[in-house]
Structure 1
């Protein structure tokens, strides 16, 4: 064995001189350590990205209670706007890592999150802030959504194929926890004055809920994220390196000639599109469906459980997909999503709060299976493509699925305006999920499939 084979990774500035994760000697002599360190740093940054992306979903349910005068349709549009931006920006991010490298992309895109966070900090303190300004800030929150399509392809480049299901599931699952964290922390952190009521953090707002007045500090929600975003972004700049796999924009377009790019995109729309879309609209959905009853539940008390369940199941399903194969796991996850979507539809026209526990249980089960499918589809993609194209497909599928919050926001707004209920949406989702189960079974999961993965 030559000295070159035994040597671990060495860096020339930002870019590593060589990267051979499939080489056992290279992997043992520093490759593994650098890959896992990169995963930790990138995952922390991705978690902050998801928190910034879904911050709007946690703020929007409180805006009417502190004096903002918006219709239900306007509120759903606010919740949907980060999804529109996230999906659009992911179409840009999917090309960035092979051009600029992990270090520059992760650090600079994380620091860009300071723009919407500072904007929301000031906007929520003034109920006269115009709707267009809030829509702009909601769109800018989508900067966090865009990051996924450069961070995840980057991670796929650092790990050997045998570990990619686990590594990608860990990163995406913990990153997805940012959704649950921001929806869980927001109701708590807005309930008191930060830093002893320091003047530069703003005054409280009067919240009226069920006829009861209380003081809250809604600006605390973005305020607590700002220092973490700054620290993690700077850390990424100082500690990350970039894998020497490069391609210009034109070279990366070759992924669109494969049928697997389009089939995996549909499967990921089912899993992550469902996860992200429901996570963004779950608080408003609870408010619209069950908010009219006496003693109605506080949406933010329950909403964070969905993303939490989906994120944890994604982490767990990664190693399972590495062991049993992504296509098999996707098959069973899809079947679970079909059943759960029908169950949710049966609980969206309540006559009392008695059906609320079943509604929540069915929603959480739907999040669970979506999380499992998120992990298993990310195992399938690296098995179908070489490392560079696999990273590109991961970025593209993630970009399209990131429109989930936008599409779900629009669909629920339309459904409530047209029918006064969300039931048609969930029956439509069940049909879409069933189509994808059949697609995955035929192309990848059945015995004798041409491309088992």
Structure 2
């Protein structure tokens, strides 16, 4: 099969990589093309997308472990007893504020990052977004050695870590174009898991590197400088741009007209928002609630690791059984795990609290994969109901779906902004207790389970069993 290229003067076979690494024609639903050529090209782009996204996620959550070393020790009157590393003496509220701001900026940047793919091309934007990671890494390395820096400046530098959070949206929007519908769940799950696991790697790597060579906390940022450069170079050399993905960004804007885009955004707050919020706050909770900084530094990464590894299996289960059924089960189980965490805090049982949070992380990972798999299925239903069946209409809804992936990932990530503040509110309002915060999460998970049933599982619903 051949088509006219953008100039209208030459015929281009599907999958041909042209000047600037642009692929003018891409037909993943054609099984002959997919098996002969498309699969290998898509997998190559997926691998290097994962590399860049992995580094981005690591940078996004660097502060989650760095702040643990910056907390001061205070007596009951609030007087400083001992400073943390490099002379810093952050309070728990200040630490949670840094984590929330980094998460919130990352969530916000996912919106322009989503539009960047159709404007610049997936490969091109991956290069740029990887290079932008030099700002937060070098900024962190500079500021942690200056404890006299104002808290406002510290917040501003932590906010730049959000560059790493934006990478996810552009990466997922790009990869969704490369794979056929029947394999999107697994492919998007792998792409997301490879990024998500960067949180666990950072939380495990940082405590190790800050003790090497006398560099201290600055090493947390410096170690990611060459990695960010490597990600940019690899994307430049080995990734491709799809002409099909490079288009007027209006389809992304049109995706906002559908109520399902907003509903899925809310549900994604419960899955990914919980994952990123809990990942950011978990080491701090272990440190300030149970006063086990040693556990926070040595084992705080386990939750993010488990959640990351679970994500592609959520997508795979959704490919097999449907995203809605997997999602509703995940939400109900998350409510049960959240209740167990409440009991763990009330009984002052670190073991029960830790185990319940590991279960929560695993379930958020599964829910992440299943909710993401629901998005292209929903837009396929919308295409069948609202489209005219033409090739242009099919492509438009495909682009709307890709755009919705980025928008939903952005709104969902604001859960990572809200969760640290809810913990902060709970501690400040209820004499240092996080139980009310955990109880709020349980109720929210049950509400989300009910909404999933009503709109995506209930018999007779237009979107039943997506």
- TM-score, length-scaled by structure 2: 0.88
Task: Compute the displacement of 1:269 (Å).
Answer: 0.7
Partner of 2:20: 13
The verdict on how the C-alpha distance between 1:2 and 1:281 changes in structure 2, with shifts beyond 3 A counting, is closer
Alignment partner of 2:298 out of 298, 301, 314: 301
| 1:442 has 2:441 as partner | no
Query: 2:252, 2:404 within 8 Å by CA — same for their partners in 1?
Result: no
The 3-state SS of whatever aligns with 1:449 is: coil
Query: 1:290, 1:350 within 8 Å by CA — same for their partners in 2?
Result: no
Partner of 1:284: 284
Partner of 2:355: 361
Deviation string, structure 1 residues 407-448 (Cα, Å, up to 9, x no partner): 112111111111121111111111111111111112112344
| 1:180 has 2:190 as partner | no
Alignment partner of 1:427 out of 413, 430, 439: 439
Q: Which runs of 4+ in 1 moved over 4 A?
A: 1-7
Query: 1:6, 1:25 within 8 Å by CA — same for their partners in 2?
Result: no
Deviation string, structure 1 residues 313-339 (Cα, Å, up to 9, x no partner): 112222222111111111111111111
Partner of 2:364: 370
Partner of 1:74: 94
Distance 1:425 1:384 in 2: 32
Distance 1:97 1:46 in 2: 14
Deviation string, structure 1 residues 382-417 (Cα, Å, up to 9, x no partner): 111132111111101110111222211211111111
The verdict on how the C-alpha distance between 1:356 and 1:297 changes in structure 2, with shifts beyond 3 A counting, is farther
Task: Compute the displacement of 1:249 (Å).
Answer: 3.8
Distance 1:232 1:290 in 2: 38
Alignment partner of 2:158 out of 138, 142, 145: 138
Distance 1:304 1:17 in 2: 42
The verdict on how the C-alpha distance between 1:300 and 1:343 changes in structure 2, with shifts beyond 3 A counting, is same
Partner of 1:208: none
Query: 2:15, 2:23 within 8 Å by CA — same for their partners in 1?
Result: no
Alignment partner of 1:47 out of 49, 54, 60: 54
Partner of 1:213: none
Alignment partner of 2:373 out of 369, 379, 388: 379
Distance 2:179 2:255 in 1: 20
Query: 1:79, 1:280 within 8 Å by CA — same for their partners in 2?
Result: yes
Deviation string, structure 1 residues 216-264 (Cα, Å, up to 9, x no partner): x111221211111101111112222111123334443111111210111
Q: CA RMSD in A?
A: 1.8
Distance 1:250 1:296 in 2: 48
Partner of 1:269: 269
Distance 1:79 1:164 in 2: 31
Distance 1:50 1:296 in 2: 23
Partner of 2:75: none
Query: Where in structure 2 are there 5+ consecutive unaligned residues?
Result: 4-10, 72-83, 380-396
Structure having greater relative contact order (Cα 8 Å, sep ≥ 6): 1
- TM-score, length-scaled by structure 1: 0.90
Distance 2:317 2:413 in 1: 25
- The equivalences for 1:383-422 within 5 A come to 383-385=377-379, 386-419=397-430, 420-422=432-434
Alignment partner of 1:163 out of 183, 195, 219: 183
- The equivalences for 1:208-227 within 5 A come to 217-227=216-226
Query: 2:251, 2:399 within 8 Å by CA — same for their partners in 1?
Result: no
Distance 1:438 1:361 in 2: 26
Task: Compute the displacement of 1:59 (Å).
Answer: 0.2
The verdict on how the C-alpha distance between 1:282 and 1:7 changes in structure 2, with shifts beyond 3 A counting, is closer
Partner of 1:149: 169
Distance 2:407 2:13 in 1: 35
The 3-state SS of whatever aligns with 1:218 is: helix
| Count of aligned pairs | 426
Distance 1:139 1:7 in 2: 42
Query: 2:12, 2:24 within 8 Å by CA — same for their partners in 1?
Result: no
Moved more, 119-128 or 240-249: 240-249
Task: Compute the displacement of 1:6 (Å).
Answer: 7.2
Deviation string, structure 1 residues 38-63 (Cα, Å, up to 9, x no partner): 00000000000000000010100101
Query: 1:6, 1:26 within 8 Å by CA — same for their partners in 2?
Result: no
